[in-house]
C-alpha cells in the first residue's frame, strides 16, 4: 500500500535537507497504520526498525511515496518492508531514497505479547495473502 507526505521547511535539518528523524517518524506512523488495517482489532506496537542508513538527501518540496508491504508474519510479530521514493520539484522521475523493515508486536490487554490471528486477509495487498 502506498501513502504520501510532502517535505516542508519544518521537516528540514539545519543543513537544509530532510531531517532523518522526520522520515523515521513518518515510517513508524504510516507502517503502523497499514499494519493496524491488516490486523483489525489488534493492539500493535513497534519493536524494531532495521538498517537505518541515510544515503540520499531529500529537499524541501519533495513529495515522498512510502511503499509499505507485509513481508513476514511470525507468532506475535509481523514485519513490513518500507521503500521510500522522492518526487522532487522540477524532476520528472521519482528517486529511491530510503529502505527499511519495521516490525510490530501484538499486545494483549495486560500489555504482554500475544499471538496474531492465524488467518489474515491483508488489506494492504492486492491478493490479500502473503506468499513468502
Ligand atoms: C507504534 C509505536 O510507535 S509503539 C511505541 C514504541 N514501542 C513500544 O513501546 C514497545 C515496547 N516494547 C515492549 O513492550 C516489549 O518489547 C513487547 C511487549 C512488545 C515484546 O516483549 P518482549 O519480551 O520484548 O518480546 P520478545 O523478545 O519475545 O519478542 C516478541 C516478538 O518480537 C520479535 N522481535 C524481538 N526483537 C526484535 C527485533 N529487534 N526486531 C524485530 N523483531 C523482534 C520476536 O522475534 C518475537 O516475534 P514472534 O513472536 O513472531 O516470534
All structural domains of the chain, each given as residue ranges with its CATH number in brackets, are 2-107 (3.10.129.10)
From the list 59, 68, 58, the residue with the least C-alpha distance to 30 is 68
Return averaged pLDDT per consecutive 10 residues of the chain, 132 residues in all: 96 97 98 97 97 95 97 97 96 96 98 96 91 70
Rounded distance from Cα 44 to ligand 1 centre (Å): 10
What pLDDT, on a 0 to 100 scale, did the predictor assign at position 127?
Answer: 87
The Cβ of residue 80 has, within 10 Å, a number of other Cβ atoms equal to: 24
pTM: 0.95
Q: Are 4 and 65 in contact (CB under 8 A)?
A: yes
Rounded distance from Cα 58 to ligand 1 centre (Å): 30
Is the CB of residue 19 below 6 angstroms from any atom belonging to ligand 1? no
> Which residues touch 34 (CB under 8 Å, ≥6 apart)?
1, 3, 68, 80, 124
Amino acid at each position: 500500500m502506498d501513502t504520501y507526505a510532502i517535505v516542508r521547511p519544518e521537516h528540514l535539518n539545519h543543513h537544509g535537507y530532510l531531517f532523518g528523524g522526520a522520515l523515521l517518524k513518518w515510517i513508524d506512523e504510516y507502517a503502523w497504520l497499514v499494519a493496524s488495517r491488516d490486523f483489525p482489532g489488534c493492539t500493535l506496537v513497534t519493536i524494531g526498525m532495521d538498517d537505518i542508513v541515510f544515503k540520499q538527501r531529500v529537499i524541501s518540496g519533495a513529495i515522498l511515496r512510502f511503499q509499505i508491504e507485509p513481508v513476514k508474519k511470525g507468532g506475535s510479530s509481523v514485519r513490513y518492508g518500507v521503500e521510500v521514493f522522492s518526487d522532487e520539484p522540477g524532476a520528472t522521475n521519482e528517486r529511491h531514497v530510503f529502505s527499511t523493515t519495521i516490525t510490530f508486536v501484538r499486545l494483549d490487554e495486560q500489555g504482554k505479547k500475544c499471538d496474531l490471528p492465524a488467518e489474515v486477509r491483508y488489506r494492504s495487498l492486492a491478493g490479500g495473502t502473503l506468499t513468502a
